[in-house]
Homo-oligomer: A and B are copies of this chain.
């Protein structure tokens, strides 16, 4: 993890830099906000550790400007300012955490790890299928031209195929997924839905095996 430490106290700056380097992170140390701006203009960071009292300005204003510009970089505030109102102000300005000096370096490491855990990876694994990205839990599909919406019935059939990649899914298996136990259809409804899936997702998304059923394809 690449970390920008904005801290004007040389002893504390060095101690924190050494601690996070020993944890395997890549630290850069900026003693002023101007230095910090230079670093940020050059390099993306995974985390910013921000002091509030700096020689060339207030850290809180820096954070506000960062957030106003749309930055999604996590920020932890490390500061001697320990009034509750200042803590709340910092958190509401967009900080992820707020530690009051003097703090324990091992606790700092544990809090950095907690922040990193939250931003690591995607809790929702996406399925990639040709030109499509699919989030099953969120009912979201993204194709080359943006988000694609399926109706409830279309989702059920598409999911049935997605869950059995490479296998043939017969029409009666699909009917079992859609309809209640004793209810049936008397027309070519399944064929119509497959046609609709092809129209929305691409003509190769479903393969037909005549007399047997359907199988997931690659659009």
Contact = CB atoms under 8 A, between A and B. Distances in A.
A124 B67 contact: yes
A149 B211 CA distance: 12
A113 B122 CA distance: 17
Contacts of A93: 125, 137
A128 B75 CA distance: 20
A111 B99 CA distance: 12
Contacts of A75: 123
Contacts of A68: 126
Contacts of A115: 118
Q: How many copies does the complex hold?
A: 2
A147 B165 CA distance: 11
Interface in A115-139: 115, 117-119, 121-126, 128, 135, 137-139
Given A67-B125, A119-B118, A124-B72, A168 B140 contact: yes
A123 B91 contact: no
Interface string A136-166: 0111101000010101100100000000101
Given A67-B125, A166-B140, A84 B72 contact: no
Interface stretch (A20-28, A51-59, A102-110, A179-187): A102-110
Contact of A114 (B72, B95, B210, B212): B95
A209 interface: yes
A113 B92 contact: yes
A111 to B, nearest CB: 6
A72 B121 CA distance: 8
A55 to B, nearest CB: 26
A91 B114 contact: yes
Contacts of A121: 72, 119
Nearest to A141: B166
Contacts of A123: 72-75, 94-96
Given A140-B167, A140-B168, 12 more contacts: A67-B125, A67-B126, A68-B126, A71-B124, A74-B123, A84-B106, A88-B104, A91-B107, A94-B125, A118-B118, A138-B164, A151-B211
